Structures are given as structure tokens and as C-alpha cells.
Amino acid sequence: MYTKQEIILRNHRDGLSQREISKELRISRATVSKYIKQYELLLQKGINREEALRICLTKPPAYNSLNRQKLRLTQEVQDSIDLLLEENKKKLLTGLGKQRLKKIDILIKLQEQGFDIGYTTVCNYIRGKQKSPTVKEAFIRQEYAPGSSCEFDWGEVKLIIANHRANYQLAVFTSGYSNYRYAYLFAKQDTLAFMESHVKFFSYTGGVYHEMVYDNMRVAVSKFVGKHEKEPTRALLDLRGHYRFNHRFCNVYRGNEKGHVERSVEYVRRKAFGLKMEFDSLEQANKHLLEVIEKLNNTKQQLTGKTAVELFAQEKEYLYKQPEELACSENTQLRVDKYATVSYRTNRYSVSDKLVGAFVDVKIYSSKLGFYYENRLVASHQRSYGKHQWVISLEYYLDTFKRKPGALPGSKALASRSELKKIYDNFFSDAPRDFIELLNYCRQNNIDDQLLSNAVSRLTVHPSAKVTSEKLIALLGNKVCDNPVTHSTDSQTSRLSKQQLIQTAQLMG
């Protein structure tokens, strides 16, 4: 605008030529000519000089960009954006709609591919292909004191764990003041997971927030009392009593009343599992999730210019002191059936075969089960959330297999251990008693399947070598057991032969 005014004034007031104006202002003569012609065109239309001069000096220059080509939004960039949008459509069709990439994720992906493009350009292009929803409701922004409030919510995530796709529950915590986040994955959204998530969160922060905010989730609200009042569940009361925080429930269908965590569930899920969804185990998925959480907490926020970690450091001194961790478990008593298993929620878990017909105390956690007899731990298993599953441990049946060696080959206990099944089929199918003796030795010396498989591999280096239980025991160390395996028919000659074999094997090792 300033340049346009200078051109017209120097031509009209000072009487300079177009060449002189171009030289003094160091701009193109075509630009000088364009603005002078605009002034002269107004005069030709019959407008007086003063009015024409006023119009030219006050009207900002306009540019015709209708035929301008896009410099950054090339066809290659458009194809890359279209490919990512197509992946979002596929996720929506396969039930992964909540893990779609947002515009900012698409921008980051384009920049990783080497494209120099801005966020506004990406948004404008996507907006031209999609219709954005109209916001009809206004919201009131809140101010939070340090350490005063923390919000909790669940989110569902679809992951592929050990080549099996299933739904998992994402427990998310977000501080109202610092936007400090924490999240953890559980197999199911139940009371134990609800309590354990709080224990892990308070342990992670090292303190307790004054107030926890929840929606009307089943694990927190026991029942509605009247029109607005809600009665908390026993689990929430236990958490309140132990950690001494206050709680607040949102109104029905008012997720905006805990907007921090509503946004965090979607944000954490997208950042952690938008691109990576396959893991070997749930533990590996949680490890990946924690790495993403720490990265997000160390990212500067737009409104404050500080990271969540920096703001949390300010509010940590206002948190309540963290007490000892709350034990999150349920207890029940169940009978051991004829298969030496205990049935819990349609699934069967093996215990010692000596406890058939007895009652055992079961301590139930969100991820494991502990079985106690006479206040002594007799078995422990990872908890299964499937239906009609047999969670079997072969070591619990060794005493029975000694009496019934013929039951070993077709047993479910052996079939559940692929490495042991392979060793038995290849080397011990004609000698089940020797194999049982080997398993008993491994149990007493805490030798896992991988170590046993390595010992077998060492013996099979030479094709002519024969794999026997005695050789394997020798290679595994021939450790002295508290309860060594003995046989009533073992002769002195046999014992001497074994000792010689052991000494030879040690020399080989």
C-alpha cells in the first residue's frame, strides 16, 4: 500500500516519469505503470482528479491469484495425503476409527518423507475433500490450581498381540493444571484394573491429587440416587479411604466437564498406536506406551510455552503425600477338580496334582491369579480373559505322570509346551519315564524350556550321538537337588556308569 501511494504521489504531485520512479523506489517499471494506469483509468471514466486520487491512495492493491500454481502443494504431496486419508477410511471400516491419523499427524508424516509444507496448506487441502462439522456449543474455559484436580477416563484400543487381534482398555489420567499425562493398558475394564491403574498412577507421580474427576463409568458409580446424586462403588471408596482424595462425577453425557482427559484419551491413543499396533506381548505394548507418554509430557504446550514435566514440577509440592501402595486383589475359595485344575470364570488353571478335591484360596489380580493352600503359595498363572481356556503347567502333574507315564504323550499339559513336545516326540517317545525324570530335574533346578532345548542342540551336533536324560542332566550341570530323584531298582553298576558318563560329559563341556 505504501509503495502504491508513493508511485501515484510522485507521478501526480512531483511530476516524475515512470523511469525515474522505478529507479528511485527500485521496483519494476511494469508495477509503476500498472498503478499509474489505474489512476488514469478513473479519470477517463469521468471521475474528478481529487476523487480519483482519494480512491487510488486508500484502496489497497489486489492480486489475481486464480491462475496461480501451488508451489508447495505439488501433485506428489497431494498423492501422499490422499494415501494417508485412504488408510484412515480403511481403519474406519475395520473398527479402528479411533486410531485414525489427524491433520497434524499427516503433516508430521509428510515432513518425515522430506516434503517442505505447512500445517495450513495441509488443512486447506483436506478441508476441500472433507466437510468439517459445525460447532454449535460454547464452552467455558476453567482455571485450575496446582495439584487441585486430575481427570480419569477409559479408552478402547484395538491391538495385535502375539499375532492375535483383540480389544484392550486404555486407562488415562490427565492433570487439570499441568496437562501431565499417564496411561496404562489392561485386558479388561473391570474393578481390579480400575484400582490398579490408580495405584500405578500415584506411584508414577509420587503424590496424590486433591480431587479425582470421573464420568458415570460402571466401575466408579454404584447407582444413581435421585436425579443428580450418584453413589460411588466399593472400589472407589477403598481408593478414597487409602489415598484420601475427594472425587467428583460429571453430569450425564457431559464429557466436556472433564475435557482434559477426553482429549487425552484420543491424543494418547493416536500418538501411541496410530502407526504401531503389533506387539509380542501386552508388557511390550505398555513399555511402548510409557515411552510415548514421556515424550508427550516433554513436548512444549502451545498456550504456556512450557512442557507438562515443567508444570508438573511446580504442582508436585502441592500434592498430598503418597501412602503405601494399596493391594488390589479379590479373594475367593474354590475346589480343585479331578483334573487338578481350579475353574474361575469359565477358564481352568492347574495346581498341584496332590490337591485334588481340596479347597484352595485364590487371590485374583487384573493380570494374574495366585493359588494358596494352608497359607502357602502352590501355583501362579497369568490371568486369561478368553472363554473355556485351559491354563496348564506341566510341572504340577509330574507325580501323576510317574504313576501314569502312558498319559504323557496325549496330555494337554505337554501339548501346551511346544518345545518340550518336540523334544519328547524326537527323542523320548519310547522312554516316557526317562523324560519324566528329566522334567523333574528341570523343575527342581529351575531350568526353563529354552535352556533344555539348547542342551539338546549341543548333543545333536554329532548325528551319531544319542540323546538321553542322563546326558542332558550332565550338560545342564548335574546340580545336587534338595530332593534328588532315586529309583529303587538302581544298581551299583548303574550308578558307577552314570558317574563315568557325567565325568566324560564335563570334559566335553
* Number of residues assigned to the chain: 509
Burial of residue 18 (CB within 10 Å: 0-12, 13-18, 19+) is middle
106/123 Cα distance (integer angstroms): 10
Q: What is the pLDDT along the chain (509 residues), one digit of tens a residue?
A: 778 888 888 887 788 888 888 888 888 888 888 888 888 888 888 888 778 777 777 777 776 666 666 778 888 888 899 999 988 888 888 888 888 888 999 999 899 988 888 899 888 888 887 765 555 666 667 788 899 999 999 999 999 998 999 999 999 999 989 999 999 999 999 999 999 999 999 999 999 999 999 988 888 888 887 666 888 999 999 999 999 999 988 876 555 555 566 788 888 999 999 889 999 999 999 999 999 999 999 999 887 889 999 999 999 999 999 999 888 888 999 999 999 999 998 999 999 989 999 999 999 998 899 999 999 999 999 988 888 999 988 888 888 888 888 888 888 888 888 888 888 888 888 888 888 888 888 888 888 888 888 888 888 877 667 888 888 888 887 544 444 444 444 556 666 667 666 665 654 55
211/243 Cα distance (integer angstroms): 11
Identify the residue whose cell numbers are 509420587: 206
Instruction: Report pLDDT digits (tens) over 151-206.
Output: 999 999 999 998 999 999 999 999 989 999 999 999 999 999 999 999 999 999 99
- Give me the DSSP letters along 124-135: HHHHHHSPPPPP
Instruction: Report pLDDT digits (tens) over 458-473.
Output: 888 776 678 888 888 8
Residue 256 identity:
N
Exposure class string for 295-312: b at 16+ Cβ within 10 A, else e: ebbeeeeeeeeebbebbb
Contact 316, 298 (CB under 8 A): no
| pLDDT the model gives residue 55 | 78
Angle at 204 between CA 200 and CA 206, to 5 degrees: 115
Instruction: Report pLDDT digits (tens) over 46-92.
Output: 888 778 777 777 777 776 666 666 778 888 888 899 999 988 888 88
170/200 Cα distance (integer angstroms): 13
